[in-house]
Chains A and B, each alone.
Chain A
Amino acid sequence: MSNTATTETKPAAPAIEKIKVKVDGRELEVPKLMPDWQGKLVPTTMIQACELAKTDVPHYCYHPKLPVAGNCRMCLVEFGTPALGPDRKPVINPDGTPKIAKSPRPAIACATPISPGMEIYTQTPGVKQMREGVLEFLLINHPLDCPICDQAGECKLQEYSVDYGQSASRFVEPKVHKPKAVDLGPRIVLDDERCILCTRCIRFTKDIAGDDALGIVNRGSYNTLTAYPGKVFDNNYTLNTVDICPVGALTSKDFRFQMRVWFLKETKSICTSCATGCNIIVGSREEKVYRYTPRENDAVNACWMCDHGRLNYKWIGRADRLAEVRRQTSEGRSEKTTWTVALNEIAEKLKKAPHGSVAIVASARQTNEEFWLLKKLADKFGALTDSIGYFGEGDKLLLNVDRTPNRTGARLIGICQANVGIKMMVIADSIKVGKVKTLIVFGEDVTKSSLDAELLGKLDTLIVSDILPNETTKRAHYLLPGCAHVEKRGTFTNIKGRVQKFMKAVEAPGDARPEWEFLHDLVYNVTGQDGFLTIEGLFNEMAKDVPAFNGLTWAGLGDTGVTVPT
Chain B
Amino acid sequence: MCPTIVNNVETLCDVKHIVALGGAEYAKLGTPNNTGTRIVSLSGHVKRPGYYEIETGKVTIGQLINDPAFGGGLREPEPGRPPRKLKAVIPGGSSAKVFKAGEKFKLKRKGPDGQMVEQEMDMLDLPYDFDSLIAAGSMSGSSAIIVMDDSVDIVEALANIAEFYAHESCGQCTPCREGSLWMSKALHRLTHGEGRASDADYLVKIADNIPGGRTICAFGEACSWPVQSFVAKFKDEFIAKGKADEERRAQGKIDPDTTPSQQHESATAH
Are A221 and B169 touching (Cβ within 8 A)?
Answer: yes
Q: Within 8 Å of chain B (Cβ to Cβ): is A148?
A: no
Q: Within 8 Å of chain B (Cβ to Cβ): is A25?
A: no
Contact pick for B181, options A70, A104, A172, A176, CB 8 Å: A176
Are A174 and B269 touching (Cβ within 8 A)?
Answer: yes
Given the contacts A172-B261, A174-B185, A138 and B178 also touching, CB distance less than 8 Å: yes
User: 0/1 per residue, A68-96, Cβ < 8 Å to B?
Assistant: 00111110100000000000000000000
Which residue on chain A has the smallest CB distance to residue B211?
Answer: A105
Chain A residue numbers with a CB within 8 Å of B189 are 172-173
Which residue on chain B has the smallest CB distance to residue A108?
Answer: B216
Are A220 and B269 touching (Cβ within 8 A)?
Answer: no
Q: Within 8 Å of chain A (Cβ to Cβ): is B265?
A: yes
Are A105 and B171 touching (Cβ within 8 A)?
Answer: no
Chain A residue numbers with a CB within 8 Å of B269 are 174, 176-177
- Chain A contacts with B in 124-149, Cβ cutoff 8 A: 129-130, 133-134, 136-138, 140-141
Which residue on chain A has the smallest CB distance to residue B186?
Answer: A173
Contact pick for B174, options A134, A173, A218, CB 8 Å: A134
Q: Within 8 Å of chain B (Cβ to Cβ): is A10?
A: no
Which residue on chain B has the smallest CB distance to residue A198?
Answer: B174
Are B180 and A221 touching (Cβ within 8 A)?
Answer: yes
Chain A residue numbers with a CB within 8 Å of B260 are 172-173
Are A221 and B171 touching (Cβ within 8 A)?
Answer: yes
Given the contacts A106-B213, A136-B209, A197-B171, A223 and B177 also touching, CB distance less than 8 Å: yes
Q: Smallest CB–CB gap between B45 and chain A, Å? A: 30
Contact pick for B171, options A140, A173, A220, CB 8 Å: A220
Chain A residue numbers with a CB within 8 Å of B259 are 172
Which residue on chain B has the smallest CB distance to residue A129?
Answer: B209
Which residue on chain A has the smallest CB distance to residue B267?
Answer: A174
Are A223 and B173 touching (Cβ within 8 A)?
Answer: no
Bound-complex Cα distance A218 to B212 (A): 26
Residues of B in contact (CB 8 Å), total 38
User: 0/1 per residue, B172-211, Cβ < 8 Å to A?
Assistant: 1111011111100110010000000000001001001110
Q: Smallest CB–CB gap between A144 and chain B, Å? A: 14
Are B167 and A220 touching (Cβ within 8 A)?
Answer: yes
Given the contacts A136-B209, A137-B209, A73 and B261 also touching, CB distance less than 8 Å: no
Q: Smallest CB–CB gap between A38 and chain B, Å? A: 23
Q: Smallest CB–CB gap between B175 and chain A, Å? A: 6
Given the contacts A73-B215, A130-B214, A174-B185, A137 and B175 also touching, CB distance less than 8 Å: yes
Chain B residue numbers with a CB within 8 Å of A73 are 173-175, 214-215
- Chain B contacts with A in 228-270, Cβ cutoff 8 A: 259-262, 264-265, 268-270
Q: Within 8 Å of chain B (Cβ to Cβ): is A219?
A: yes
Q: Within 8 Å of chain A (Cβ to Cβ): is B166?
A: yes
Q: Within 8 Å of chain A (Cβ to Cβ): is B67?
A: no
Chain A residue numbers with a CB within 8 Å of B214 are 73, 76, 106, 130, 133-134
Are A219 and B168 touching (Cβ within 8 A)?
Answer: yes
Q: Within 8 Å of chain B (Cβ to Cβ): is A171?
A: yes
- Chain A contacts with B in 33-72, Cβ cutoff 8 A: 70-72
Q: Within 8 Å of chain B (Cβ to Cβ): is A216?
A: yes
Chain A residue numbers with a CB within 8 Å of B212 are 105-106
- Chain A contacts with B in 191-246, Cβ cutoff 8 A: 196-197, 216, 218-223
Q: Smallest CB–CB gap between B127 and chain A, Å? A: 26
Are B168 and A137 touching (Cβ within 8 A)?
Answer: no
Bound-complex Cα distance A129 to B205 (A): 12
Bound-complex Cα distance A136 to B208 (A): 13
Are B268 and A71 touching (Cβ within 8 A)?
Answer: no
15 other A-B residue contacts (CB within 8 Å) besides A137-B177, A173-B268: A71-B172, A105-B213, A106-B212, A136-B209, A137-B174, A137-B178, A137-B179, A138-B178, A170-B205, A172-B261, A175-B261, A176-B269, A197-B177, A220-B167, A221-B177
23 A-B interface contacts by CB (under 8 A): A70-B216, A71-B174, A71-B216, A72-B174, A73-B174, A73-B214, A73-B215, A105-B213, A133-B175, A134-B175, A172-B259, A173-B185, A173-B260, A173-B268, A174-B261, A196-B174, A219-B167, A220-B168, A220-B169, A220-B170, A220-B181, A222-B270, A223-B177
Please list the residues of chain A having a beta carbon within 8 angstroms of any beta carbon in chain B.
Answer: 70-74, 76, 104-107, 129-130, 133-134, 136-138, 140-141, 170-177, 196-197, 216, 218-223
Please list the residues of chain B having a beta carbon within 8 angstroms of any beta carbon in chain A.
Answer: 166-175, 177-182, 185-186, 189, 202, 205, 208-210, 212-216, 259-262, 264-265, 268-270
- 9 smallest A-B Cβ distances: which pairs? A105-B213, A133-B209, A137-B178, A223-B171, A221-B181, A220-B169, A173-B185, A174-B261, A174-B265
